[in-house]
Amino acid sequence: MKKIPVAILGATGAVGQKFIKLLENHPWFEVRELVASTRSSGKTYQVATHWKQNTPIPQAVKNLVVQELDAPLQSPILFSGLDSSVAGEAETRYAQLGHWVISNSKNHRMDPDVPLVIPEINPDHFELVRQQKTSGKIVTNSNCSTMFLAMALHPLHRRWGVQRVMVTTMQAISGAGYPGVPSWDILGNVIPYISDEEEKMQTETQKILGQLTQGRIEMAPFTVSASCNRVAVVEGHTESVSVEFVDKPQSLDEVVAVLRQFRGLPQERNLPFAPPEPLVVFEENDRPQPQRDVDTYNGMATLVGRLRSCPVLDVKFTLLGHNTVRGAAGAAILNAETLVELGYIKP
């Protein structure tokens, strides 16, 4: 099919750079327009950005001229990596102008008419866009830590019903953007607070795993208690999770089987960014590890390990995911692929 032109909002930032890297040679999408702040606008991308990715700036993008945030755009799809301080108003305005805004920003995630979607879990929630009054639409992906928790909980909730969840995160510094956390604060240290992170994990998980009923989301009935920490890891959020179920699994082997067998629409339709296994379960006691495992399936898989009985709840395990790929830009790209595949966006 002919490639769909796309624009990157917040193109010079950490998430914007990741969008550009991941979209290089994408079979469906082609980056045609870049948008950033006034200090970057009017410059070519290679001049405007402090490129921090581990591959060179794509040739097709390096000489594109960066446009201002209020510039008129031609691309039907806009991938937003905007900072939350400006994302809400800008994304609404672009939707009013007829664009599909696929957002990684937090501003619209909990709006009642905005889908908060992980395509393996709740692609039916895309129907909420029909309630948006704008000619364009806004679709969001979750917070990076929410992404991996929801991915693991979904097949378990579907099988046994989740009742309570306790989660403690150890989150990489790349989640704070660039320059992120000062080295003086993070080296040899753990910071036990990330602004709004615990609240986002607790509410977004309930929305994603909730049910679309008569045009509204009924939040999932379980409770999530989150504790979030910043640690001196570059890429990869690790989470220690304990879960209590309504109906009890007969064995840990049964839990492992449910996780390993899980597949969703992206796998069934073989979408370009879909990992063949959305959940990869490790048997080794010391895995998953960010240094060794975070790039599994190009960073699009959720990694599960140390699955064992919990003496307080029912089951506990360790999660790992690539926070800037599956937890950010890659999630938005997979959402866009799903929207095209399902016919919401016409090529």
SS3 of residue 340 by DSSP: helix
d(CA 340, CA 347): 7
**H helix or E strand, kind and range, residue 279:** strand 279-281
Catalytic residue among 99, 125, 144, 322: 144
Cβ 290 vs Cβ 172: under 8 Å:
yes
SS3 of residue 277 by DSSP: coil
CB atoms inside a 10 Å sphere around CB 25: 8
Q: Is 237 annotated as catalytic?
A: yes
d(CA 107, CA 100): 16
One-character DSSP codes across 2-25: PPEEEEEETTTSHHHHHHHHHHTT
Contacts for 278 with CB less than 8 Å, ≥ 6 apart: 120, 151, 262, 263, 264, 266, 267, 301, 302
Sign of CA dihedral 200, 205, 208, 211: negative
Contacts for 231 with CB less than 8 Å, ≥ 6 apart: 170, 171, 172, 173, 186, 190, 191, 238
Q: Is 144 annotated as catalytic?
A: yes
Measured in degrees and rounded to the nearest 5, phi and psi for residue 242 equal -125, 135
d(CA 39, CA 41): 6
Catalytic residue among 99, 108, 154, 237: 237
d(CA 193, CA 249): 34
d(CA 191, CA 55): 30
Closest CA to 152 of 200, 118, 103: 118
Tell me which residues are annotated as active site: 144, 237
